[in-house]
Amino acid sequence: MLADSDSGEHIPVATTRPETILGDTGVAVHPEDPNYQRFVGRKVIVPILGREIPVIADEYVDREFGTGALKITPGHDPNDFIIGERHNLEVISVLDEAAQVNQLGGPYCGQDRFEARENLWKDMREAGLVIKEEAYTINVPRSQRGGEIIEPMVSTQWFVRIQPLAKAALQAVRDGRIAIVPEHFTKVYYNWLENIQDWCISRQLWWGHRIPVWYCDECGKMTVTREDTSVCAHCGSKNIKHDPDVLDTWFSSGLWPFSTLGWPEQTPDLEYFYPTSMMETGYDILFFWVARMIMSGLEFTGEIPFSTVFLHGLIRDENGQKMSKSYGNVIDPLIVMDELGTDALRFTLLVGSTPGKDTNLSLKKVEANRNFANKLWNATRLVITSLNSISPDTNPSPDAFDEHKWTLADSWIWARTQALIRDVERLFQNNQYGEAGRQIYDFFWSDFADWYLEVAKLQLEVGGDRAYCTALTMLRVLDLSLRMLHPYIPFVTEELWGHIKQTAQVSFPDEVQGWQDALIIASWPEPRKQEPWEKAKISDFNLIQDVVRAIRNLRAEKNVKPGQRIPAMLVSEKKAHILLAQASTIAALARIDQDRMIISEHLDSKPEGHVALVVGPVEIYLPLSGLVNISEERERMKKDLAETQTQIDRLEKLLAGPFAEKAPESIVQKERDKLKYYLETAVNISAQLGALEE
């Protein structure tokens, strides 16, 4: 109601918390609202209490919402507090820390907020001050732990004037001293710091760094000191009290990069480790922690705390939902580590991650990586057994490890290892740690364990220099693999590396002479320039792999017993010499009877009753006449030809687009090689299909 009117003029306002009317110190209307312009600058009366408060004009008011007039309670609403500051309104807090009305609440003093709400509304209704009541849905903030309704309350706190610190932190990123990965989070960082407000750093918590302020009961002044004190710095009185508040957790955490190194003392650790190179954390605390570390580092040391901020995503459940106790989908890492292993969980989180992207965690993935740890263990045990088979008295030829005397498998695994080291280094430089881990995983499981170790068993049986060279190759490749895997699987790799070193010291003491005492301090594999022979050896052995896979798949499809050795005919105009040189390897891995294995450059006529396979430039004929259905064989080959053509179309489109210009040359060349392979395969399948149709 207007204080200077006898006609009963009033301004209607709405509220969902009637008890806060007791703390109203103003009514705001929009300056362009014609309904209320005549009231601006006048006084209205607070219901029940009779206190006069001003009518103010503020653009914050939404004319289309509610009555178009807004009651202002600076002591119990954060938005109202800001409006009150703009218009110098009085701040009245009518609720105490127990959520009871204090002495400023008039007749409702001592009542609980909800009790006061009912009583005040009842009194207003009886006084004819209630215009309308209606149900209204609002969001009510509640405590995460106890569920209590949270009420805003004005209190005296310690603040940091943050704009100067934010300005310096912004400049550090803008001028390139600090890089944020992924880059798109740089805009988020800018937005936060450009719109930052002064920072309240005092907290009413049980534990933390105490605010370094003491209050004197004698002179009423404050003593601020870095050291604990028992006397007032102003009057010398001992009647002082330490501020009970503690520093905001993020304020304390922001000191971490340098306070852990002995700062403010200029310690050797601080000099050596500060600033560091990379800060890795979740994107959700880019502002809460990372920005505060940057601001504090620049303010207190004059230097940036780190040069790169690497942001990973959040860990969600396998369905992509955020883990929550209320959802019942929380995965306890301690339980997972107990059941499946710490390294398995660690590897799953690292390899399944992409910078800035959330990760869905499935226990099946952890189980798969537990199996990978077992694979590591079994492969290492095989290598150790092989090393033990080499007598310490072995006197190999001086050129036993000459690359020109390596088998194709030796050359291939060494070339693949060096290619992997180069790829991992490139991926690390581009912060693609998940992809790097996946490539190391694929290399060890497939290339080394599934292929090379199987061939190595055959080579070890030969004895002499061949066995010595093979064992040394196994040792070197395993050593490099464990070094690359160590950041991902530190516990298993450290244990295995120790066993490898201990075993190798007997048969290959010169090889391990320069090894460190522990893998964690061992040197990282250095990328080597690609040798001219590497690409050809990889291509040749890949062909052997494809031939073996094709025969294995057909045997499985036709249910040929695993132990049954069958004849085979391999024909290739371009690669017959390679097939001849690797005949024993192909026969052993594909379960072929080598005595009945024919390899030639040409074939005068297609053998009857044989199943035909095409692998790039190689035609394979297997005498499985009793198991062959001509109609089914024709359909299988048509399906193979269609799939091959699909790959050809995809690769031709890829190589004709921007990929060929933007991607690294080595990556583009791999795709060109694939296209060449599929083109050769398509030609051979078409020829085989044509012969089958005749």
Confidence bin at 606 (pLDDT 50/70/90): confident
Distance CA 211, CA 362 (A): 44
Q: Determine the pLDDT at residue 63.
A: 86
Q: Determine the pLDDT at residue 43.
A: 92
CA torsion sign, 546 to 371 to 315 to 437?
Answer: negative
Q: 10 Å Cβ neighbour count for 158?
A: 16
| Short-list 514, 521, 444, 433, CA closest to 477 | 444
Q: What tens digit of pLDDT does each residue of 641-651 get?
A: 888 889 899 98
Kindly tell me if the per-residue pLDDT of 223 is higher than 90.
Answer: yes
Kindly tell me if the per-residue pLDDT of 677 is higher than 70.
Answer: yes
CB distance 414 to 420 below 8 Å: no
Q: Determine the pLDDT at residue 391.
A: 79
Distance CA 692, CA 630 (A): 8
C-alpha torsion 563→568→574→577, nearest 10? 70
Distance CA 515, CA 523 (A): 9
Q: 10 Å Cβ neighbour count for 188?
A: 14
Q: What are phi and psi of 137, to 5 degrees?
A: -95, 130
Q: Determine the pLDDT at residue 166.
A: 96
| Chain length of the chain | 694
Tell me if the pTM is above 0.95: no
CB distance 317 to 329 below 8 Å: yes
Average pLDDT over the chain reads 90
Distance CA 73, CA 52 (A): 14
Distance CA 102, CA 108 (A): 8
Least confident of 359-373, 411-425, 564-578, 616-630: 616-630
Q: Determine the pLDDT at residue 327.
A: 78
Distance CA 571, CA 601 (A): 5
Least confident of 214-223, 231-240, 386-395: 386-395
Domains by residue range for the chain, with CATH? 18-126 (3.90.740.10), 159-210+245-312 (no CATH), 345-521 (1.10.730.10)
Kindly tell me if the per-residue pLDDT of 692 is higher than 70.
Answer: no
Q: Average the pLDDT over 401-428 and give the result.
A: 92
C-alpha dist (Å) from residue 63 to 45, 69, 678: 22, 8, 69
Q: Determine the pLDDT at residue 161.
A: 95
Q: Average the pLDDT over 541-547 and give the result.
A: 95
Is the omega angle on the peptide bond into residue 562 within 30 degrees of 0, that is, cis?
no
Q: Determine the pLDDT at residue 629.
A: 63
Distance CA 435, CA 533 (A): 27
3-class DSSP assignment, residue 618: strand
Structure tokens at 469: 């060279």
Q: Determine the pLDDT at residue 630.
A: 63
Q: Determine the pLDDT at residue 625.
A: 63
Q: Determine the pLDDT at residue 537.
A: 94
Question: Which amino acid, 277?
Answer: S
Q: Average the pLDDT over 669-687 and give the result.
A: 83
Structure tokens at 189: 């960082």
Place of tokens 């370094």: 212
Q: Average the pLDDT over 134-145 and give the result.
A: 84
For β-strands 199-200 and 43-45, DSSP reports them as unpaired
Q: What are phi and psi of 149, to 5 degrees?
A: -70, 135
Strand segments (E) across 514-609: 566-571, 592-600
Q: Average the pLDDT over 141-149 and give the result.
A: 83
Distance CA 521, CA 486 (A): 10
CA angle 588, 590, 591 (to 5 degrees): 65
